[in-house]
Amino acid sequence: MDNASFIIQQLINAIFLGSIFSLIALGYTMVYGIIELINFAHGELFTAGAFIGIIVLGALQNIGFVETHFVLTLILVFGMAMAYVAVLGVAIEQVAYKPLRKASRLAAILSALGMSIFLSNGMMLSQGVSDRAYPAILGMEGFSIIDARITYGQVFIIVLSLVLMVALNMFVNWTKLGKAMRATAQNQTMARMLGIDIDRTIRVTFMIGPALGAAAGVMVGLYYGSVRFDMGFIYMIKAFAAAILGGIGSIPGAVLGGMIIGGVEVLWSAFLPSEWKDVTTFVVLILVLYFRPSGILGEHVSESRV
């Protein structure tokens, strides 16, 4: 493959991977922005989305729906996965995070961790220990740009990610509830003094953030062909690195961070031994947290909790 094609191919892969990381990172950043808590359970929410996707898809396949109504199938699969995880997200918030809003940081982190363990084991017990195969409905057809190859499946995923991110941006900047979310994230007490019901705002955040993660989960399942109860862990780390890199709490930052991490991973895989790939992610994460915890687009992160 000549140089131009190679570059284009890497670019395609990077944007593809970056889109997925961005969607997951958005979930982290929105939750952290509003309640300053790292939702350790987010990786499990991503996995849950993948599982619901496969369940819905399987059910639809049983009744022969997929071939006849392909577009509707995709809508149902994504829609139901996102809806389910939105409910799950709120449930977790109500049970494990809301009661600890005034408690110490340690308690909140441990509760989140506990929920993460609970969910991943719950999925293991209910869905089995081994991989579950995703029906390959996206297919392998695609087209070529010079010698670089892009499948229709990749195009779909990239476009859907873009649509979701634009929708989120519109919601957060143009709707009353979206602005209330931003206000709550910036100054919770002042938001309350203006009459904003922060419990509701936080609930909505826990619906949207996880839903985006769920969409990413379905995408990963559709593209890579399988889902496992513990696949959330490594995606969680990478998405978290992306969110931090871009500036935790910043929505454009999450997207930027996701693209950068996607790019780094693609470039690494192209040139360097792949078994050390994950170590690199961790190292990048630690370096970012050490040298610039506020990230690229983030605000200055204060040392203490005000």
Partner 1 sequence: MAKSDFKKFIIYALFLGLLILPMVGFPGRSFETARAFTIWGGIVGILVLWLLNKTVRRSGMYQRTSAHLAPFRNTVLRKISKFPTKYYILALLIAVTAYPLLANNYMIDVGITCLIYIVLGLGLNIVVGLAGLLDLGYIAFYAVGAYSYSLLNLHFGISFWLSLPIGMLIGAIFGCIIGYPTLRMRGDYLAIVTMGFGEIIRLVLNNWDELTQGPNGLLGMAKPAIIYPGFTEGGLSWVVYSLKSLHALYYLMFIIAVLTVIGVRRLDNSRIGRAWVAIREDEVAAELSGVPTVWLKLLAYAMGAAFASVVGAFFAAKLSYTNPNFFIFMESCIVLCIVVLGGVGSIPGIILAGIILIAVPEVFRELQNYRMLAFGLAMAAMMVLRPEGLIPASRRKREFHETDQFAPEDLKDGG
Partner 2 sequence: MAVKALILELEDVHTYYGNIHALKGVSCSIPSGDIACLIGANGAGKTTTLLTIFGVQRARRGKIKFKGRPIHHLRPEQVAAQGISQTPEGRQIFPRMTTLENLEMGAYLRRDKAAVADDMEWVFGLFPVLKDRTHQLGGTLSGGEQQMLAIGRAMMSRPELLLLDEPSLGLAPKLVERIFETILEINKKGVTIFLVEQNAHMALSISNTGYVMETGQIVLTDSAASLLKNEKVKKAYLGE
Residues near partner 2 (CB under 8 A) are 176, 179-180, 182-183, 186-187, 189-198, 299
**Local structure of 102: helix, strand or coil:** coil
Piece in contact with partner 1 (CB under 8 A), picked from 80-88, 147-155, 211-219, 259-267: 80-88
Judging by DSSP bridges, how do beta strands 148-151 and 226-227 pair with one another?
unpaired
In this chain, which of 16, 21, 46, 51 binds partner 1, going by CB under 8 A?
51
Judging by DSSP bridges, how do beta strands 132-133 and 226-227 pair with one another?
antiparallel
From partner 1, partner 2, none, interface partner of 70 (C-beta below 5 to 8 A by class) = none
From partner 2, partner 1, none, interface partner of 179 (C-beta below 5 to 8 A by class) = partner 2
Q: How far is CA 7 from the centre of its chain?
A: 26
Is the Cβ–Cβ distance between 215 and 78 less than 8 Å? yes
**Tokens coding 170:** 């519109």
Neighbours of 254 (CB within 10 A): 35
From partner 2, partner 1, none, interface partner of 286 (C-beta below 5 to 8 A by class) = partner 1
From partner 1, partner 2, none, interface partner of 278 (C-beta below 5 to 8 A by class) = partner 1
| Residue 42 or 168 having the CB closest to partner 1 | 42
Neighbours of 21 (CB within 10 A): 29
Q: Report d(CA 132, CA 139) in Å as an integer.
A: 18
Q: CB under 8 Å to 121, separation ≥6 — which residues?
A: 229
In this chain, which of 5, 10, 61, 151 binds partner 1, going by CB under 8 A?
61
| Residue 180 or 254 having the CB closest to partner 2 | 180
Q: How far is CA 46 from the centre of its chain?
A: 6
Going 208 to 128 to 235 to 94, the CA torsion angle's sign is positive
| Residue 117 or 190 having the CB closest to partner 2 | 190
In this chain, which of 11, 155, 162, 237 binds partner 1, going by CB under 8 A?
237
Site of interaction with partner 1 (CB under 8 A):
36-38, 48, 51-52, 55, 58-59, 61-62, 84, 87-88, 91, 95-96, 99-100, 102-123, 125-128, 233, 237, 240, 275-276, 278-279, 282-283, 285-286, 289-290, 293, 301, 303-305
